[in-house]
């Protein structure tokens, strides 16, 4: 069977400074994709220039002979996300792949959880994915090619104590995926979810 290749494709991976996102970015680059490595590098406001975590992944991709640029855009900031996508198009002329992987945790039992902590997790996981997908959707429609992956979780599918906010946001991504996969079909935009299990910087 031929190796899966993404030569000439451009990928945006959010939350790619570590953990699963980093692995997605490295795997795509190893298969020929040019990659926008997006990560806040530990800040929530997206300020502070190029985040160190993202730049480290970019450096690793470049050292292996690949092409990559870093982005410190917060996925909750639609303007910053659009600027990130615009930069990818300015650099490489297209965006073919989006991996919506950025996320945070604010775990507490529902009794003790504040509405702000609930809202923040939904804002990052769900609205972050919406913002990024919206920014690439018309680009993908125009080129009649797109591949979008959402990172969901068993916490959404089955529940997990102390993760009502995270589980709700992650299950919402499944609903988003189901509808976008229908709407994108005629323009060759495929939308899927992954529900991985891993110990990463976020789970720590």
pLDDT tens-digit series, residues 138-152: 999 999 999 999 999
User: pTM of the entire structure?
Assistant: 0.93
With bands split at pLDDT 50, 70 and 90, how would you rate the model's confidence at 50?
low
pLDDT tens-digit series, residues 149-172: 999 999 998 999 999 999 999 999
166 annotated active-site: yes
Marked catalytic residue, from 6, 118, 137, 166 = 166
**3-state secondary structure labels for all residues of the chain:** CCCCCCCCCEEEEECCCCHHHHHHHHHHHHCCCEEEEECCCCCCCCCCCCCHHHHHHHHHHHHCCCCEEEECCCCCCHHHHHHHHHHHHHHHCCCCEEEECCCCCCCCCCCCCCHHHHHHHHHHHHHHHHHHHHHHHHHHHHHCCEEEEEECCHHHHHCCCCCHHHHHHHHHHHHHHHHHHHHHHHHCEEEEEECCCCCCCCCC
């Amino acid at each position: 069977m031929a190796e899966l290749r993404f030569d000439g494709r451009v990928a945006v991976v959010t939350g790619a400074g570590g953990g699963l996102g980093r692995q997605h970015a490295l795997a795509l680059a190893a298969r020929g994709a040019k990659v926008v490595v997006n990560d806040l590098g530990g800040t929530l406001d997206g300020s502070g220039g190029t985040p160190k975590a993202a730049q480290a992944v970019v450096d690793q991709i470049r050292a292996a002979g690949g092409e990559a640029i870093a982005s410190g855009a917060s996925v909750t900031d639609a303007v910053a996300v659009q600027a990130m996508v615009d930069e990818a198009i300015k650099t490489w002329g297209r965006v073919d792949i989006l991996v919506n992987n950025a996320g945070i945790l604010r775990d507490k039992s529902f009794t003790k959880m504040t509405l702000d902590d609930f809202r923040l997790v939904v804002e990052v996981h769900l609205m972050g994915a919406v913002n990024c997908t919206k920014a690439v959707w018309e680009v993908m429609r125009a080129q009649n090619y797109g591949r979008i992956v959402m990172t969901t979780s068993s916490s959404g599918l089955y529940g997990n104590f102390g993760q009502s906010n995270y589980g709700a946001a992650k299950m919402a991504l499944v609903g988003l995926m189901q509808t976008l996969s229908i709407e994108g079909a005629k323009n060759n935009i495929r939308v899927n979810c992954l529900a991985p299990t891993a110990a990463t910087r976020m789970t720590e």
